Each structure stands twice: as C-alpha cells, then as structure tokens.
Structure 1
Amino acid sequence: MIRSCIFPAVLSALAVLATGLSLSGAPPAPHYVGSQACVGCHADAAKAWEKSHHALAWTKANQTTVLGDFDGARFAQDGVWTQFNIEDGQHVIATEGPEGKERAYPVKGVAGIEPLQQYLLETAPGRLQAFDIAWDTEKKHWYHLYPGQDLKPGDGLHWTGPYKTWNARCADCHATGYEKNYDPKARRYTSTQAEIGVGCEACHGPGAAHLAWAEAPSRQPVGPGLTDKGFTIGFDPDSAETEIQQCAACHSRREPLGDASPVPGTPFHDAYNLALLREGLYHADGAILDEVFVYGSFLQSKMYEKGVRCSDCHEPHSAELKLEGNAICTQCHSPAGNPRFPSLRKAEYSDPAHHFHEPGAPGAQCRSCHMIERVYMGIDGRRDHSFRVPRPDLSVKIGTPNACTDCHADKGAEWAAAKVAQWFPDGRSGTPHYGETLHAGRTNTSPETRDKLLALARDTSEPAIVRATALDLLRRMVDASVLDETVPLLRDDSPLLRAAALRLFQAAPAERRLQAAAGLLDDPVRSVRLEAAKLLIGQPLGALSAAQRQAAQAVLADYQRTLFARADYPETQMQIAGVAMTLRNFGAAQGALKEALRMDPQLADAWLTLSRIQAALGQRDEALKTLERASRNVPDNGDIFHLLGALYAQQQAHQKAIEALERSLALAGSSPERLEMLALENLFAGNRGKAREYAGRLRDSYPGHQPSAPIRRLLKPN
C-alpha cells in the first residue's frame, strides 16, 4: 500500500518515531459508564436531556427514530434516482454508489432530529458516509443538501467521498467517548464510542470515578486530574472559560489534533486548531459566511470579553434557550442591568426608542439586528454569535453584510447607512472597524496595508482572533521588518497570537526560524508547541541546548501523532507531502500526493505539485500523464492547463500546447507568461498571424514586460 511506505519514510527522516508511542500520547482515559447510569440521581437533568438535540444527535435506525418517508418514496437529482424502502423491517436506501452503480444500502444510523435528518450508510466495513439527500422534518419531504452541484462518484464532495465520511468529519461531535481508529495502511475504520449521541459524559467526563464517589462521598476519588467528585472537568462558577471551551469543542470550526474526542476538561487549544477569520469562512468584518458554528464568532463579542458564558442563555441539558424572545437579552440589557456585569449600561432596549420598529414586529427582536441569521444545509438557520452592532456603512465601504438589508433587501446599504446615522447620530457609523483592515489584507499587499495589519495585530483592545487573523494575512508580505515587529507577539497572552506569530516565521531565514521555535518548545499550550515543531522540520538542531533538543524531539513526535490522527484527510496528505519535500524525500512526497488524489481527485494543488516534482526529477512523461489526468478531473483550473501547455511545448507538441494554453487563458485570464507562450507556440506551429496577434496583446497589455527575442522580432514593423 502507498501509505505503508509514506509514513516510515517521512517520519524516520523526522527522527521522531518512538517505539511503543501511543497515538494519543496520553494516559488511558477514565472509564465511561453511559448516560443511563446518571438517571437515578439526576432525574430532572436526564428528563430535560433525553429529548434534546444533544441526546438525538446520533441514534440507531428504527421505526421511532427514522422520520423520513421510506414507503417507496423516490427522489431524482441530476439524473440519478434514489428510492427509500423498508425491507424485512429495515430502512434501505437504493442509490448510486461509489462505482457509479445503483446499490441498496441499509440505514446504519440517524443524524439529527430537526429541522432535518440525515441518514448514515456503510459503503465499506466500518466506514459510514452521511447521505446528502436529507429529510425536511418540518415540510415533510426529501431534498438534496447541495442542489445544482451535479457531483459524480469519484468527486471528493460526492456523498461517498472523504468530506462526507461520518467517522472522520462528524462522529466525534455526535458521540460520547468517540475513537476514530483509522488504519492508514488498510484504509479502514474500526471506530468505537462509549455512547452514540451527546450523553452526560460528553460534557461532564467519564463517570466511573464519580459513581464510586457517590457510593462513598467521604472517600477521595482516585485518578489523575479528577475533581473532588470524581470528574475530569469542574465547572467553576466564578470563571466562564472552562464551560465555553468545553462547548467550543464541538461548536466551532476547527482542526482536530487527535483521532478521538478529547476527555472533557481538556483545554480547547490542546485539542484543536481554531479556524481564524479566513476568506471563505467569514466576511472581512468577522460576520459568518460559511458554516463556522459559534466559537469563532463569540470570541469577537463584547459578551465574551465581559465573561458571559453559554449557559447564561442556553439551558445546558435541554439545549433550549432559557427565555423566549427579547427576554433572553433583557435579563441583562435592561434598566435593572445585571450585577455580574457592572460595566453594562442600564437602559431600556426593548423599546421603539432603541430599535425603531413596531413592537412585536420582526425588526423589534434583538436577534434580528444583533444576530444575523444564515441558512446552512439547505434549511437550517444559524445565528451569528458575535452580537455585532449593525454597520451598513461598512457594507458600503467593503461589501460586508448587515442586518438592515437582510430584511430591507430592496433598499440597499446606502439607505440603511443613512437611516442608522439618523437614528444614532452619536453611534458607531463611520468609526474605524477592524473589518476595513482585514478587507485590505485580503485584497492587496501594499506597504500601507502591511502597516495597518501590524498595528491591528498589536492592538490589545481588539479580540485575539481578530489580531491573529491580521498576522495570518501578513504571511503574504513577510520581510525582515515584519518579523522584527512580530517577535513580541511570540509572548502574547493568547495562544492564537503566539501560534499565528510562529506561522509568520515559516518564511524567515533558517536561523530566525530556529530561534522563534526554540522559545516556544515548552509553551503551556499544545497547538502553539505544534506550530513550533513545524519550524524545526529539516532544521539542524545542533545550535539548541540539550534541554531544547529534548523538547524539540518531543514536539516533533507529537506533530507526527497529529499527522497519523488525520491520515484519512486529503488535506493532511498534502501536509505530509510538504514535510517530505522539506526533507527532500521526494518519493514520500509523491506517495502522499497520490494518496491525497486517490481520496479527492479534484485537489488541483496536489496535481500541480505532483507534476512539478516529477518534472524536476526528470520524469517528464509521468509529469505529462499527471497533468493530462488533472485536466480531466479539474477541467476548470487554468493553472493546470498552463503547466500542461508548458510541458507540451517542451516536447514540441505545439498544437496541443496551443490548445492547453488557450484553455488556460480562457479560465484564468491574461498574464504575460500565457500571452508570450501562446505567441511562441503559434510561431513554432507556423501560425505567424496568430503569433503576431498574441505578441501585440502582450505589448499592449503589459508594456513593462521584456519579451524574448523571437517576440521582439515579431513585433518589428515589416
């Protein structure tokens, strides 16, 4: 198998593969006992929980749990028919499988309860896939989660592809005590869980020691890191952070660092890398765009800064809001205020003098203005938890959304900005906002933008996730002065800042990379130590002290474990390829890239990188075959056709080169390189008129470009 040679090759070069090292690197977890063991003593909490979205996040398929129409219902999407039946008392879905042929799949599990249900199908022993024709539990009909995409078997986003694998992408947040157990050599899952669904122990921790304590409360619980009642986590009434991080483990867009659900009480940044406010996930001002869940938004809010916690608004066992309508907000935002938050301005907010809408109208609801809603999975509305003040003036400047035009779509952002300025003449309209700087960082790399991003990264009055995002954007414009300005942030209080600062040093000279990494090898937060490990790959460690070398070996070993833990992710295979290339182990790099492409044939970067390695190693025929396959799998990527055209040109297959380069020009637009290559290939193919046409376009569009001698001759007057 490809995988069996990739990891030893890459990781022996890292010199960190330790005999007997466990995947988690942690001592065995305390024993889980199941939610039913809790019911006897905690009846009220259990009653609230048992019908909640947590309890029903994952259930077995039976006549009670399956809500969809399996009475011979049929559904067509992109020419593919799917039928839902009950056969011998079992729910069965007949549809197009991974080979493009119709197969009947027994339903192995149910995900969710409302407003939709998804069904889990087993495509290989142990591998569950989330089927993307779902049941709308409110309108009572089948619908496709991704209409219009026309996904075929073999596409990474097809329901049988790696991005829909329940074991890898979903199960850890829908189960209690989940272990993925992926074997990269056999490409097989033997996943286990203490309990399907989010049970009591998913939040409170394994319960065996607590049961022992309950039988003899005077006896001290035995086990490392346990509370006085035998739990792995203690919810401190005076500190919100433990609770928030425990909820964030699932309610966030993040990358796991292990292959199992972390034991409750594990700090968030020891178990995950949090997604920053990146393009495609968030708008430039931090408003939700893709399905990012809650944590990244909440970290931007004043409520988080002041110590508000999830359970202030959400009843943790039923997962319902504690109060209805505006009452959930006016428990603090009112003339009476809340003594827990003394800095909160006491005022009447649920009044037309504040919201300027008719009482009872949708616009009079706090959430309408301060928690914009976006719909995911076709019908599932999720609200932004950054609790932002509407800023239609930002919409005018940088194109971000605003709550006003969500409802008044026919009016436009300019109208909304004028209204808000009229209602709140002393409000925030026109005041600087970090979204403007992040927008600039996304759209240009000017010195002015660089300086603004640095200033934002250093501004301790702004949320840490915003400051870290500013550093992330600076990676496109790193120079010695940026690194100098970043050094103090390597010691920032926030692990998000320290990790982001380390990533900037990936572009630094070797000595500065080593210096930056060495200072954080003993950081108290695992995600930061792992970023330091990445800076050490391929680096000679002789300049480090003996203690630092020992720490370096430990963090490199831990980084190895994170790669193993995510070996079923195409994006992880890309990371492995990057490690291998850094170590100049090009055989291992090719193996990892091929494995990534086996999982997801639409990974354009993997095709391009693989072909470049092959060409650099003199394997030009292999490189050409790779790009020809790439052009069939990713027919809309201009870079692939550009490189394909260049390889055809090297083989003097001029007509093929012209066709590929013209396709690249149509897909990716004009560039000096494309126009010059097209002029040359047409010249070599005898198409002198066409060659002169492309040479003219090159001269007119890029007057500063210095063309080659044949192009200069073409451009001379006859």
Structure 2
Amino acid sequence: MSPFANGFRDAMLAILLTAAPALASAPQPTYVGSQVCGECHQVELERWRGSYHDLAMTEATEETVLGDFDGVEFTAHGVTSRFFRKDGDFMVRTDGPDGELHDYPVPYTFGWWPLQQYLIPLPGGRLQSLGIAWDSRAKDAGGQRWFHLYPDEPLDHRHDLHWTSRDQNWNYQCAECHSTHLKKGYDLATDSFSTTWSEIDVACEACHGPASGHLEQARLAAAGGVAHWDKRKGLVVDLADRDGGHWIIDAETQLPRRSVSRKTHTQINICARCHSRRGQISEHYVYGRPLGDTHRLALLDEGLYYPDGQIQGEVYVHGSFIQSRMFAQGVTCTDCHDPHSLKLKAERDQVCAQCHLSARYATQAHHHHDEGSAGASCTACHMPQRAYMVIDERADHSLRIPRPDLTIATDSPNACNGCHADKSAEWALEAYEGWYGKTAPDRPHYGQALHAGRVGATEASHRLIALAGDEAQPAIARATALDLLHQYPDPTHMLTFRRLLQDRDPLVRAAAVRYLDTANPPTLMELGFPLLADPILAVRTEAARTLAPLAAMPLPDGEKVRLDAALEAYRASQLVNAERAESHLNIGLVEAAANRPEAAEKAYRTAIRLDPKFGPAYVNLADLFRTLGRDQDGETLLQQGLAVIPQDASLYYALGLLQIRAKALPQAVGSLTRAAALDPDNPRYSYVQALALQGAGDLPKALAILDQALERHPTDRDILFALVTFNQQSGNLEAARDYAARLKALK
C-alpha cells in the first residue's frame, strides 16, 4: 500500500471516529424492547402507553384504526376514493402512480390526534403516506371525517405532493422519527428499500438508547448488589440532571432563574433529533451527542420562519425554542412536558405558573384582558398557534413578547392581531404602548436585520454583520444572518468572520465557513482548513464542501490527503439520503468544483435517473457541459428536461443562456421570456430577458420589462443599473439620473 493510501486511510479513520465516537468502542449495546424495560419501570411504561409516541405508528387493527372504512367515499381533486374492508384487511380504492383507480391495502396507521394518516405499500419496499387523512377530533369540533391534506393544491398523480411521489415516501420523510432503531436499508443500484426497526413506535430506547448494558447491570445488581452499577447504570446516555439545579424565584427581580446554570443540552439534543426541521447527514447516531453530529438544522429561512423568527412553515419546535430566552436561561423540554406521557406537567397556564408567579402575571394588570378570555391566557400571547396539515394547531415555542411594531417593520405576524384580525398593527401597537410603554418597541430585534437582508434594504449589510457578531443573540439567528450576507460580499467582513469561525456554537461556525466560498484561494485555505477538524460533523461537511475548489489546485501532500478524506466524508454524508436526487446534485456540485467532471456527470445523471422531474440536475449538468465545450449536448439535455417538466423556469433560463452563447438571439429571447413568465418573482430572469431584448434591438420592450421588474424588486441593483444604462441609450437622461440616484442610495 502506498504512503498516500496509508495517509488517506488514517485521515478517513480520524474523521469517522470524530463523527461517531461510539464506533470505536465495543461491544456495541443492543436494543431489548419496551416490554423488557417495563419489567422494572412499570410506572413509566404505563404513562407511555397510549401516548403520541406509543401511537406514532402502529399496525392497522380494529383498535388502532380510527377512520371510517365501512365503504365510505371521499372526493378530492376530481378523484373519488373509497375506504372499505376486504378479507379482514383495511383497504382504500384510490388513484395510483398511473392515475388509475386501484385497490390498496392499509397495513399501518400513522399518528393519532388530531388526525390519523395511513401508509400504503408500493413496489421497492416503499411505504407511502396517503394524502387523505382522518380527522380524529370530536364531531362537535369538526372531526370524524375524511379530509385532504392539500385541499387547495391542484394535484394529480404527476404532482410532487401526490401520495405516490418521492416527497410522500415514509422511508425517507417520516420513518426515522416514528419508529425505534430504524434502519432505512436503501439500495441505490435497485432504487429500493429494505427498512427495519426494533419497535414500530417511538419506544423507550428511542430516547434512552439501546438498553442491553443497563439490563445486564440491573441483573447483576439484583444478584450481587449496587456495586455492579456504573455511573450511568449501563445506559448509553444520561438524561437526568446531575447538577442539583432547580428553579427558584429571584428575590430582587421576582423572575425565575435556575439555581445552577445549565452546562449541557443533552436532553434537548435528544428531542431535537425528531422535533426539528433538519436533514440527516449520518446514520451513526450516538445518543447524547450534539444534533449537528448527525443532522443539519434548518435556519430561519424564508418560507419556514417569518423574518422575526416566528414559525411559518412546519418546523417542529426546536428551531423556535432555541431562539427563546427560556432556552438561554436553561429551560429544557421536561420542565414543561412529562417525558413519558408527553402531557403538560400542569393544566393550561398552570404549567407556566410552575416558575412565573401567578400573582404577578395572571392578573389584568399584566395581560389587560377579561379573566377567562383568550387574551388572558399565557399561551395565546406568548405561544400563538398556527395550523399545519389543515387542522393540527401547533404552538410557537420561541415564547416571545408580542411585537406589533415588528409587524409594521417586517410584516411578521403578532399575537395581538392574531385575535384582533379586524384591527391594524398600528392599532395593536397603540394599545400595547398604552399598557406597557415604549420599552419593548424601542428594543432592537434580530428580525429587523433578517428582514433587511431578505428584501435587500440599504442597511442590510451592516445590520447582518452586526447581528452575526452579537453573541447575546440566538445562534440560529446569527447563523441565518451569515447566510444572508452571501448577497452582500464585503472584504471588510473577513475581520469578523475570523472570529466567527471559532464561535462556540456550531450553527454559527458552519454558516461562517459557508461564507468562505466568496473568499480567494489563499484565504480559503488559511481560514477553512482548520474547520476540517471541527468536533461537529455538520461543520466539517460544510468546510469540505466549501474547500472543494482547492482540490483542483496544487496542494502540499498533507493538505491534499486531509482534503480528499474530508470530501469522501462529505460524499458519505450525502449518501445517507442516497434515494434523493438532491443528494446526488450536491455530490455533483462538489465534484465539479474539484474539477472531476466525469464524477460530476455521473452524480447529475444519477439524480435524473432517480427523479426525472428534478430540474436542478438538468441545469447543472448542462452547465458542466458548457465548461467542457459540449453545449450541443447541453441543449439536448435541457430539451429532454423540458419534455418532462415543461413548466420549469430554470430550464428555460439555462436554455436561453445557451442560445445566447450560440448567437441564436431570437430563440434566446423566446426562452428567457418564457422563464420570466413562469417565475416572475425571480429578478434575475427578468433582468436577463431585458438584456436579450436590448441585444436583439428592442430597447423599448426591454425598458418596459425592467420597469415591471423594478416594481416587484425595488432594491435590485442589477435592474437599476440596467435602467440607468438603457435610459441613457434611449436618450431619456432624466430617467437615467433618477435611477442612478436610487442606485446610489442603496450603496
């Protein structure tokens, strides 16, 4: 074996052992099952029985199926489905992947309240989540009915949200968090699953980890005394508080505080594995390790969160909670929720009164609403709910003070207008200031910086860098600011980034290393290489992706070995979800950056094989062909893509650029016009469409396109610059000066 091979092997081994320390220890603990746990922990087992964890997934039986399968029909999207029984099985007749009606067995239920879904097997070991669900609420609450989870989305069997699609696949989307010790068992060669679990639901060992060591020590202790217990009693993770901390009321402030500052977040990381919007990057889950060792947490991205961090999309609590002052003060999940029954530890507002004095907060002097009204409730104001899956009300766990001023400034919602929907935010702000003064509205909020970054405001750059560097702000907000700063590259930011690359929070470090893709190679190597040894896998994978272009350059042998090993670990992190086209796209992008075109092409083609309707794979493969001088192959490929996904604006845009390179300007104008029409919210499409029109000699139409685009994107610098230039060309110098003044104001 060559010295290089030895070095590569050693580097890979170091990376894998850092990613999953438990891999180096033996023997590995095994799962014993909840029934065995219950032999000693009967009380906990009984509390768990019937909980939403216990009922997360079950075999379909008379006791577990809540829906009406007595020949009931339900019509949605032009399809009439029938729920019935046959030979003891629960069945549904509905439209399949070919659009035709078929009879399907329902072997599993999924969830319990307020709705229950049903899983249907399809070839290749797939279980698919039916888009029609049962409303399990009481009839007088609107329940006891079938309903469609996407009632307003016009869909048929070709739609990405149809129950037969990859996006509705249980093996990928749901399984990890609804069963215990799940092994997905995906095979890329056959595009099939062989998924297994130790228990069908979320059982004891889903949180406590495999318990064989605990069981062995318990049996030895029963026979020979407590000397056989180790510090963690054989458990792979210790979820108990061992610091003696408890909640007290501070004598001076009358506010709750923990008697001992919380040093670890083990329990929260365990819960976050499932109760967060995240992507899996490792199958080697180690109980008690930080979330970033196996998952990449979604940040406060548009569509998932409002600018001020309130929940917008379905984000599953964790990303909200880590924004809260309660998290910062050491509150953890089981301070409010019983870990076994999952019920609140007290009724309604009394769960808050465990720490917050009722005499101070449960009064009209504090909430200014009639006793017993919705506005007098803690959760109505501080944990407003949003409905997901049509009827599932979920509370925002950022536990924030209502801020009508932020509604005015950022268009984020506020709890006041959530109830008083007929009133304006200005009305709510006036009432708020009348009750509490102007203290809260005068306080800066990270939502203002994130909003500025989203809309391209003049002050966005300095607001975002200030937020990113402020350690008093939630790490998830700071990391989001760093990602938004990609739109505002500035060499002076590097002074701050040097510090943020060493930040104590991995979310910030990962976002900081992502920003380095704007840096030159020497800076990238100097600042990025140390992150390849970061203790958190999510940071290391981001570092590897960002450093990939250096693999195409001459490097000292040691650095080359480290980078090659890191890139291999990155590929492995993507292949955790090898069934997804997005994973192979990511691999292709890294291979292209590393100047490995054959590997990049293979990855892109794999993405297209898995999902022929995945537009980014066509676009990036066509762009790879451009770099290789194969534009003819690129045009053929893009036309193939448009035959499958004719409404994909990105394919028309890529085709238009290719046609410009081929000097086929009339065809390019047609393609770019189509792209802009399909996606009018993308300013780049309208901008390039206008450039093509101007190049084709139609300056008036180009100006009209730019004016329309500027109405939708008033701070877009490219559009403004083009309006300056084109108005100069048309002789309208007054308009050119006006647009130039607007452009200058943005700098």
1:611 pairs with one of 607, 612, 622: 622
Q: Deviations over 1:163-188 (max 9, x none)?
A: 21111111110011111121111211
Q: Deviations over 1:467-516 (max 9, x none)?
A: 11111111222232212321011111111111111111122111222222
User: Over aligned residues, Cα RMSD in angstroms?
Assistant: 3.1
SS of equivalent to 1:94: strand
- 2-structure distance, mates of 1:555, 1:650: 36
Which residue matches 1:158?
A: 162
Unpaired runs of 5+ in structure 1?
A: 1-10, 336-346, 684-690, 713-718
Which residue matches 1:439?
A: 451
Which residue matches 1:715?
A: none
Cα distance, 1:578–1:654 mapped onto 2, change above 3 Å: closer
Match status 1:395 vs 2:407: yes
Q: Please say if residues 483 and 504 of structure 1, whose CA atoms lie closer than 8 Å, have aligned partners that are also in contact.
A: no
AA partner of residue 201 (structure 1): E
Q: Deviations over 1:357-396 (max 9, x none)?
A: 1111111110000001011111111100010000001101
Q: Please say if residues 212 and 221 of structure 1, whose CA atoms lie closer than 8 Å, have aligned partners that are also in contact.
A: no
Which residue matches 2:471?
A: 460
- Pairwise CA distance, 1:124: 1.3
SS of equivalent to 1:215: helix
Unpaired runs of 5+ in structure 2?
A: 138-142, 244-261, 708-719, 732-747
SS of equivalent to 2:387: strand
Structure with higher helix content: 2
Which residue matches 1:571?
A: 582
Cα distance, 1:179–1:72 mapped onto 2, change above 3 Å: same
- 1-structure distance, mates of 2:180, 2:565: 29
Which residue matches 1:293?
A: 316
Which residue matches 1:694?
A: 701
Which residue matches 2:530?
A: 519
Match status 1:145 vs 2:149: yes
Which residue matches 1:482?
A: 493
Cα distance, 1:282–1:29 mapped onto 2, change above 3 Å: farther
Which residue matches 1:704?
A: 724
Q: Deviations over 1:414-443 (max 9, x none)?
A: 100111011101530232111101111111
Q: Please say if residues 639 and 664 of structure 1, whose CA atoms lie closer than 8 Å, have aligned partners that are also in contact.
A: yes
AA partner of residue 330 (structure 1): A
Cα distance, 1:271–1:549 mapped onto 2, change above 3 Å: same
1:259 pairs with one of 283, 286, 293: 283
Which residue matches 1:371?
A: 383
Match status 1:427 vs 2:442: no
AA partner of residue 281 (structure 2): L
- Pairwise CA distance, 1:520: 2.5
Cα distance, 1:634–1:479 mapped onto 2, change above 3 Å: farther
- 2-structure distance, mates of 1:618, 1:552: 28
AA partner of residue 515 (structure 2): L
Cα distance, 1:386–1:625 mapped onto 2, change above 3 Å: same
- Pairwise CA distance, 1:309: 1.1
State the TM-score, normalizing by the size of structure 2: 0.84
2:271 pairs with one of 247, 254, 259: 247
AA partner of residue 217 (structure 2): W
Which residue matches 2:427?
A: 415
Which residue matches 1:340?
A: none
2:518 pairs with one of 474, 497, 507: 507
* Deviation larger for 655-664 or 126-135: 655-664
Q: Please say if residues 410 and 448 of structure 2, whose CA atoms lie closer than 8 Å, have aligned partners that are also in contact.
A: yes
AA partner of residue 84 (structure 1): F
Q: Deviations over 1:566-601 (max 9, x none)?
A: 111222122011012112333332333333344444
Which residue matches 1:192?
A: 196
* Deviation larger for 189-198 or 67-76: 67-76
- 1-structure distance, mates of 2:426, 2:507: 36
- 2-structure distance, mates of 1:441, 1:386: 21
SS of equivalent to 2:156: coil
Identity %: 39
Match status 1:493 vs 2:499: no
Q: Please say if residues 119 and 134 of structure 1, whose CA atoms lie closer than 8 Å, have aligned partners that are also in contact.
A: yes
- 1-structure distance, mates of 2:118, 2:265: 35
Match status 1:559 vs 2:562: no
Which residue matches 2:299?
A: 276
Cα distance, 1:269–1:300 mapped onto 2, change above 3 Å: same
AA partner of residue 172 (structure 1): E
- 2-structure distance, mates of 1:478, 1:534: 19
- Pairwise CA distance, 1:66: 1.1
AA partner of residue 283 (structure 2): D
AA partner of residue 71 (structure 2): G
SS of equivalent to 1:81: strand
AA partner of residue 371 (structure 2): P
Match status 1:230 vs 2:234: yes
Q: Please say if residues 31 and 211 of structure 2, whose CA atoms lie closer than 8 Å, have aligned partners that are also in contact.
A: yes
AA partner of residue 591 (structure 1): K
Which residue matches 2:126?
A: 127
Match status 1:385 vs 2:384: no
Q: Please say if residues 597 and 624 of structure 2, whose CA atoms lie closer than 8 Å, have aligned partners that are also in contact.
A: yes
Which residue matches 1:344?
A: none
- Pairwise CA distance, 1:108: 2.6
Q: Deviations over 1:131-157 (max 9, x none)?
A: 111111111111111123223334433
- 2-structure distance, mates of 1:655, 1:526: 49
Q: Deviations over 1:276-306 (max 9, x none)?
A: 1111111110100001111111111111111
Question: Which one scores higher on RCO, CA 8 angstroms, separation ≥ 6?
Answer: 1
- 2-structure distance, mates of 1:279, 1:612: 27
Q: How many residues align?
A: 673
SS of equivalent to 2:516: helix
